[in-house]
Structure 1
Amino acid sequence: MFPLSRAVRMARLPGFAMALMLTGLLFAALAFTPRAEAMEPEAKVVYHADFADPRRFSAMLTSINNMMTYYQDEFMDVDVRIVFVAHGIRFLTDDDLADTPFEADEELKEERDTLRGRLMSLASTHGVKLELCEITRSQIGLDQDEVYDHVEFVPSGVVRIAELQNEKGFAYIKIE
């Protein structure tokens, strides 16, 4: 075999460079696209908790648990949040909230330990995010330290729900 002349080697360089560049772009596209899709949950749901009834709250927790079980059985990534507004604050503290519109009644006092355990299990085991309206909390003077672990404070609960629906594509569920 004869060695290729320098002129022939130089003529092949642009073609080789183009092939190398296209290969690099292909690998970059393959490397980054699946990661971006994997980061976005397949299901996004926000529950609105603005009620006082412990039985209704229990039904909501059952609904969320069933949803989380389904998505996990299907190996689907899910982002579930509960936004607590007004009376919903009753389910995020052991404080009886005496002399406030949200004061704990006997039914809540009897069910509080069970409801807290179920809620904390959803947060710690299933990654359900708990978000409390800061307007509600501050209006009744409840210290942030009196609120359960895993709770994030948001400036306005109803604004948060609107943002999750409009900007982030969350489905809205309210248990009646």
Structure 2
Amino acid sequence: MRFLRLMFATLLLSFAATHALAQQHVVYHFDDAATQAFKGLRNIRNHLDGDPSAQITVVTLGPGVDMLMPGYKDANAADYAAQVAALKARGVRFEVCENTMKGRGFKKEQFLPEAEFTASGVVRVAKLQGQGFAYIKP
């Protein structure tokens, strides 16, 4: 009986480990909203369509933070606020670099409600990569 319990526990742990490995963890790095917002948000949408279980974190810094501000428009004049809200509803995390905010004189209240904040965008990207996140820069 003890042997059966041990085998069952081993099987459960093996299944859990396999499931954890199967789930993708990805960081998307945006540092220029004007050239990256349109294609990057589309890539994330396509990524989730192909793998709905993927855990995606978007880290924005420098001019990349602009895409997380209400009313932001680039040459495509797309409605990024609606796209960000839709992706947030699918589990995507959107993070803004506080170093950038300080350097550009921004306040947290100036960003979309979906935005979260991280002290340093580059440190955050490096830490996520150290945790096994795949790195994508649109």
TM-score, normalisation: structure 2: 0.83
Matched residue of 1:111: which SS?
A: coil
Superposed displacement of residue 109, structure 1? 9.5
Superposed displacement of residue 80, structure 1? 1.4
* Structural mapping, 1:1-176, within 5 Å: 20-40=1-21, 42-53=23-34, 56-72=36-52, 77-94=53-70, 107-108=73-74, 111=77, 114-124=79-89, 126-165=90-129, 167-175=130-138
Give the gaps of 5 or more residues in structure 2.
none
Superposed displacement of residue 118, structure 1? 0.9
Q: Distance in 2 between matches of 1:116 and 1:141?
A: 21
Q: Distance in 1 between matches of 2:105 and 2:115?
A: 17
Q: Distance in 2 between matches of 1:174 and 1:156?
A: 17
Superposed displacement of residue 121, structure 1? 0.7
Identity of aligned residues (%): 30
Give the gaps of 5 or more residues in structure 1.
1-19, 96-103
Matched residue of 1:169: which SS?
A: coil
Superposed displacement of residue 59, structure 1? 1.2
Amino acid corresponding to residue 45 of structure 1 in structure 2: V
Q: Between Structure 1 and Structure 2, whose CA radius of gyration is higher?
A: 1
Q: Distance in 2 between matches of 1:66 and 1:109?
A: 22
Q: Distance in 1 between matches of 2:25 and 2:15?
A: 19
> How many residues are aligned here?
138
Q: CA RMSD in A?
A: 2.4
Superposed displacement of residue 158, structure 1? 0.6
Matched residue of 2:77: which SS?
A: helix
Distance 1:159 1:149, change over 3 A: same
Q: Distance in 2 between matches of 1:142 and 1:60?
A: 23
Q: Distance in 1 between matches of 2:37 and 2:4?
A: 55
Instruction: Give 4+ residue runs of structure 1 displaced > 6 Å after superposition.
Output: none
TM-score, normalisation: structure 1: 0.67
Amino acid corresponding to residue 122 of structure 2 in structure 1: V
Q: Distance in 2 between matches of 1:94 and 1:109?
A: 16
